[in-house]
Structure formats: structure tokens, C-alpha cells
Amino acid sequence: MTQSNRSLTLRDVSEASGVSEMTVSRVLRNRGDVSAATREKVLTAAKELGYVPNKIAGALASQRVNLVAVIIPSLSNMVFPEVLAGVSQVLEDTELQPVVGVTDYLPEKEEKVLYEMLSWRPSGVIIAGLEHTEAARAMMNASGIPVVEIMDADGEAVDAMVGISHRRAGRVMAASILEAGYKKIAFLGTKMPLDHRARKRFEGFTETLAKSGVEVTEREFYSGGSALAKGREMTKAVLDRSPDIDFIYYSNDMIGAGGLLYLMEKGIDVPGQIGLAGFNGVELLQGLPRQLATMDACRREIGVKAAEIIASRVQGEDTDNSVTLTPKISFGDTLRRQ
């Protein structure tokens, strides 16, 4: 309980226990053979002193850092924490530890965060998306460690990738909507030119519509604020402008839920008069009066697979370096089926 300025070193434990620094180090790391008696002495001394090893020195000496950099755009929607949960679950069974960095969807910030993290010489990198600055790409290339790009499968990876095709997700949803006979379709999303995955979904979506000669009738984008509230407002705005809309595709489930609540309040027949769909498959929505049609983004699974790749590579094993998962569509109660 004595508060000192300098923190304790191996030497202190060595002196307190009468065992060489090297042997103390061995005990503390469970490395090599140490007699039970010595081990006991060391452990007691370390505990008594309240010794906490200095990983900085350890890492420098051993040239090994058991950290995995996980770089994601945001923590403030449920999607990335769920990826993280998958990553943690897998790494828990290894020596590795995830360290999270957040980019706020800004490429320059991503570059900065990546630089910071690489300067700690982690054992691997898991990073969201396939779009990065030239410099970021170069750093990942030069790092010499395994790099897994996640969440997206439409593009080229620097090293390895695990994700879904958002373009395909957009196409599949468009096909289901057309098949159900909807014709006047609106798209509501976030005002995020840098959310490449939302953009790709939108591209796939319009592409499939176009093949049937259908165009998106209305679009609306928001930024900031409560997604639920924004979904509500935007839905109202769009329907006020174009009352003949018969389907709304939302770029995420949260704004979709807002729209759904709004339409229910208005007494509008969903999915009869208007159909709805979102994206993500967030568990949260399960408490809503009706289930929104959506597509699962396989978030947890992506985290799991990515972490497995890193873990194998760190062991020196070879792995797949490109895993594409296929999201399931769920029709819920807001997308009628023929």
C-alpha cells in the first residue's frame, strides 16, 4: 500500500526473493523449469510487493506484442460492438488481446489511428472496410503482420478479408421487393458519402431495379440525431411529398423502425399499402409490435472469422485469405410475399 513514484521492477522482486532476475522472469511467465520452492518464493515476493510486470520492456526485449489492432468507424450503433464481441470471444482463448480504435468514418482519422496502432507493433490488424487512403494501404503492406479487412467483400484486400457483398445485399432486397409487386420505391439513408458499404447496397439496389425499368422515386438522407426519430421524420416527409410511394428501403434498421412506428400510428396498412425494409438484423428490434424486413449483416460471425484468421496466422499457420459470408433475408411483417 506504500505509494511510490518509481514502479517496481524485476530487480526489486529478485532482491526481495533472493532469486536472480532471470529466474523471477521465468516464474512470472511460466517459462522453463523452475523448482517448486523457488517458484513459491518468487510468487510470494511478487505478490507482497504488488509487482506488475512492465510489458513495454518485455515487448521490446522479446519482439512480441500480443495485441491485435481492431479499427472500426464507430461505437455508437450496435453493429460494430457486435463485431467486437465476436473478435473478443475468439481471442479470449489465445494470448492475443484486441485493442480498439475508432475512425468516425473519416479516412484521415483512419490513417492516423492505424499509424498510432502500428507504432505499438501489434501482432495483427482487423480493419473495417476495403477503402483506405494510399498511405494507410502502404502502411498495412509494409507492416509485415496479418491484416484482415472486414464487413465488405466488394473489392480487393491488402492481405485478407472477411465480409458480405453489400452490392449483392442491395440486389437481393430489390429483387424481393419487385417480386412482391411494389413499384414506387423510396430510399432513406444516412448522409454519409464515406459509408462505402451503404453506398454499395444502394448501388446494387438501383441496379436491380433498373433492370426491371424501375427507378427510385424518392431519396432522403439524414445526419446526426436519434435514428428512430429521424426515420419517423423522413418517412413523413417523403410520404407528404409523394403519397403514392408503396415501398421504403432504409439503409439501417433503426431508421426503418422509426418509419414503421410512424406508419402504424397513422393507421397505414403495412405491408399492404406500404412495404418496408431495413438492413442489419439488429436484435433490438425484436420488441417492436411488428418485425421489420431486413438482412442480417453477419456481424458477430465476421468478427469471429477475422479473429480466427489472425490467430492462425500468428501461429504461423496458413489460412483462407478471403471469406465471403451470405446474409439471410428475413421478411418479417413488412414485406409481403406472394
User: Among 40, 116, 215, 320, which residue sits at the site for a copy of itself (rule: CB under 8 A)?
Assistant: 116
Provide the β-strand partners of residue 241: none
On whether the CB atoms of residues 57 and 275 are closer than 8 A, the answer is: no
DSSP string, 60-104: HHHT---EEEEEES-SSSTHHHHHHHHHHHHHTTSS-EEEEEE-T
On whether the CB atoms of residues 270 and 290 are closer than 8 A, the answer is: yes
Shortest distance, position 100 Cβ to a copy of itself, whole Å: 6
Nearest CB to a copy of itself, comparing residues 246 and 253: 253
What is the spatial distance between Cα 193 and Cα 152, in angstroms, rounded to a whole number?
Answer: 16
Shortest distance, position 20 Cβ to a copy of itself, whole Å: 21
- Among 22-30, 126-134, 205-213, 231-239, the segment contacting DNA (CB under 7 A): 22-30
Cβ contacts of residue 264 below 8 Å, gap of 6+? Answer: 270, 289, 290
Around Cβ 6, how many Cβ atoms within 10 Å? 6
Q: Is 50 in the site for DNA (CB under 7 A)?
A: no
Nearest CB to a copy of itself, comparing residues 119 and 315: 119
Nearest CB to a copy of itself, comparing residues 119 and 338: 119
Q: Is 315 in the site for DNA (CB under 7 A)?
A: no
Nearest CB to a copy of itself, comparing residues 50 and 193: 50
Strand pairing category for 294-295 and 275-277: unpaired
Q: Is 97 in the site for a copy of itself (CB under 8 A)?
A: yes
Q: Is 284 in the site for DNA (CB under 7 A)?
A: no
Q: Is 283 in the site for a copy of itself (CB under 8 A)?
A: yes
Binding to a copy of itself in span 121-140, by CB under 8 A:
121, 138-139
What is the spatial distance between Cα 178 and Cα 209, in angstroms, rounded to a whole number?
Answer: 8
Nearest CB to a copy of itself, comparing residues 2 and 338: 2
Shortest distance, position 52 Cβ to a copy of itself, whole Å: 5
Binding-site partner at residue 30 among DNA, a copy of itself, none, CB < 5 to 8 Å by type: none
Q: Is the preceding peptide bond at 107 cis, omega within 30 degrees of 0? A: no
Nearest CB to DNA, comparing residues 46 and 177: 46
Closest CA to 253 of 296, 205, 195: 296
DSSP string, 214-270: --EEEEEEE-SS-HHHHHHHHHHHHHHH-TT--EEEESSHHHHHHHHHHHHHTT--T
Cβ contacts of residue 193 below 8 Å, gap of 6+? Answer: 199
Binding-site partner at residue 178 among a copy of itself, DNA, none, CB < 5 to 8 Å by type: none
Provide the β-strand partners of residue 328: none
Site size for a copy of itself, by CB under 8 A? 62
Q: Is 267 in the site for a copy of itself (CB under 8 A)?
A: no
On whether the CB atoms of residues 68 and 122 are closer than 8 A, the answer is: yes
Q: Is 54 in the site for DNA (CB under 7 A)?
A: yes
Q: Is 243 in the site for a copy of itself (CB under 8 A)?
A: no
The torsion region of residue 186 among left (phi > 0), alpha (psi -120 to 50) and beta comes to beta
Shortest distance, position 68 Cβ to DNA, whole Å: 19
Rg of the chain, C-alpha, whole Å: 26
User: Among 30, 63, 286, 338, which residue sits at the site for DNA (rule: CB under 7 A)?
Assistant: 63
Phi and psi of 277, rounded to 5°? -150, 150
Residues forming contacts to DNA in the complex (CB under 7 A) are 6-7, 9-11, 19-23, 25-26, 28-29, 31-35, 37-39, 53-54, 57-58, 60-64
Residues forming contacts to a copy of itself in the complex (CB under 8 A) are 1-8, 50, 52-57, 59-60, 65, 75-76, 78, 81-82, 84-85, 88, 97, 99-100, 102, 115-116, 118-121, 138-139, 141-144, 225-232, 254, 257-258, 261, 265, 283-289
